[in-house]
Amino acid sequence: MQLVEEVVSMKDEVAEWRRTLHADPELLFDVHNTAAFVADKLKSFGCDEVVTGIGRTGVVGIIHGRPGGNGPAIGLRADMDALPINEITGVPWASRTPGKMHACGHDGHTAMLLGAARHLAATRNFTGSVAVIFQPAEEGGGGGREMVNDGMMDRFGITKVFGMHNLPGLPVGEFAICKGPIMAATDIFDVTITGRGGHAAMPHQTVDPIVAASAIVTALQSIASRNADPLASLVVSVTKFIAGSAYNVIPDKVEMAGTVRTLSPEMRDMAETRIGEIVRSVAAAHGAEGTFNYIRNYPVTFNHADETDFAADIAESVAGSGKVERKQPPTMGGEDFSFMLEARPGAFIFMGNGDTASLHHPAYDFNDDAIPVGVSYWVKLAEKALAA
């Protein structure tokens, strides 16, 4: 690996920042302590601007390059929020708040971008400006959308934007990326099946919504197997099924919910249409009524071609030849950096976290050995993108 020498020397300090954040996890937009920590650090580094409250609780630091140099601004993004999970790592820096933990490594992402901001503010070996973006509410709240809707891109003149996420199972010091879709659109749906309840011993006098709903669950599986191109990616999962309260009573209604994951607009449109058709028609075939509500959540995280090549080249300059997978298979997980990639060209890359517990697992912890790799990637990317 060819790490930035000054970055290697700050590893322990950045790790301490990371562990401080890990011990105090905050959810969604309620990241006030984390945002304050970030803003204080950025101010101490000498950033030219530190703006809080972007997208409700986001923070943006602006670092200008060489004096007198004109150039574009690029955005580097990290996420700040944690997850509603009880931590079981047992590490000294474990969460001090029951029911909350940094189970996705956002503490590491934030600390690494802070490390990069410190180095870039001290050296300013570039022309133009770097916007370091610290985003709230990635884990389901759409903080990326809120920051974009708050005018962040235009306000700071951001022309390109880049994101990074750790990946357990990928060795430390390696990267993975691909052009086009790298993470899925993550939609959700709610279904209500209304029948006519009654005595369980007299089903002929009822319209059993459980039978109708069960048939709907089975029929929904045909969307992927019989409506989608076999070479396309589509997941339809029913994850909630709420019905009844007694052994001898057929209820009046069933409530269901689930998620849809797709990698293309065509699959997304088709899935929404077919769910509605199946819910209504299968319910009607059982004499019941079916209604549904489909909510489009995060869009596809789509890497732009030129920026993907650029990011992969930067990663290779850090990790070395053969350590960057440039055709990483997309994951059906979601990421609201997608909103920033809809607003500006850019790329999202995975960085190895080593042999650790998986993301969103109560035993997960960010691997501090990855810190110099991630910080070096950010520094080299900024300096290369904004080279004189």
Reported as a single tens digit per residue, the pLDDT across 102-128 is 999 999 999 999 999 999 999 999 999
Q: Which amino acid is at 140?
A: G
Q: Find the helix or strand (DSSP H, E) in which 108 lies.
A: helix 106-123
Q: How far apart are the first and last CA of the chain?
A: 25
CA-CA distance, 120 to 16, in Å (whole number)? Answer: 20
Q: Show Cβ contacts of residue 110 under 8 Å, excluding neighbours closer than 6 positions.
A: 17, 18, 21, 34, 38, 78, 79, 80, 134
pLDDT digits (tens, 9 = 90+) for 142-177: 999 999 999 999 999 999 999 999 999 999 999 999
The predicted model gives 13-27 an average pLDDT of 98
Q: At what angle do helices 32-45 and 11-23 cross, to 10 degrees?
A: 160
Distance from the Cα of residue 80 to its chain's centroid: 11
What's the CA dihedral at 6, 8, 13, 18 to 10 degrees?
120
CA-CA distance, 204 to 212, in Å (whole number)? Answer: 14
The structure tokens 């969460």 sit at 95
CA-CA distance, 257 to 189, in Å (whole number)? Answer: 5
Q: Kindly report the average pLDDT of the chain as a whole number.
A: 97
How do strand 49-54 and strand 58-64 relate by DSSP bridges? antiparallel
Residue 68: pLDDT over 90: no
pLDDT number for residue 303: 98
Residue 388: pLDDT over 80: no
Tokens of 106: 């956002």
pLDDT number for residue 361: 98
Residue 79: pLDDT over 90: yes
CA-CA distance, 365 to 107, in Å (whole number)? Answer: 9
